[in-house]
Structure 1
């Protein structure tokens, strides 16, 4: 089997990829991501996931390299990212409460030997319940989601923040859409089952 490399420092993506039961390596991408408000969110995450994967091509010259990136948009279409601090997480959740937000998760498989690429975007929409500031502060204190787009961990207590979630693959919301990735890997001859 070809060498698989996850181009990510995200512990959430690492945990998700482990679910497929395939051997893989992990390496930090050699690409600095920037959120550009002028670029549509689906194009932005495609671009970021592609460049993360391609950035490791020289280091792994005969591998299938997986890149991923995620942003979400507010109801006005503004692209948002990770909060970075507990205070910012509470404020982000306060702004999100009672509204629907769409998450865009880009995923790329890059064959560094043939330079063949497969890239896609999976969307997921969440609607948060109306919660008071004290509830949000308690949530952030318990889960510390400062490194998560949207300031919540859907795989943890973040589910209690939700009124509704809509999408075809909940793993996209965590950061790596495994349903789509499984199909993409099969295009490169990697059978998960």
Structure 2
């Protein structure tokens, strides 16, 4: 007896391209009606779920992004996102409302590429936000056009964060993968 979710979204943007830099700005809005949420009915039976239509709400905000080409293989990127929620959104379900991202990246067709990214707030859910910048390092070694090794270290400086109300987070994670495109 669930009503289907209905989403109406609009985004308006502008992009300016220059040989050494680019600027992107956008405004977005989304009206979400009859949102469906999933709840566990019994913690001892994780496959037993209850689905409910919750409420309607609106998400709106704007983004800005500047990319500067420092050298042929190096770029510096700075971004900001402002997001607000109106309507019946429960406080603990709101994702991060504002976000700043700074990224230094090096890219090569073959060989070693990588990026160092600073992200704040790392997490912003409910009444909590990150206590500092979440920083991650991503290194990619491309052997050929189809094969690459990836190393990613999240929370490089081990910044303490709150994942949700009273739930601690902030542990470092390391991923090492091999990828081959067919």
Which one has a larger percent strand, Structure 1 or Structure 2?
A: 2
- Give the structure-2-normalised TM-score: 0.37
Q: Higher relative CO (CA 8 A, sep ≥ 6), structure 1 or 2?
A: 1
More helix by share: 1
Q: TM-score, normalised by structure 1?
A: 0.35
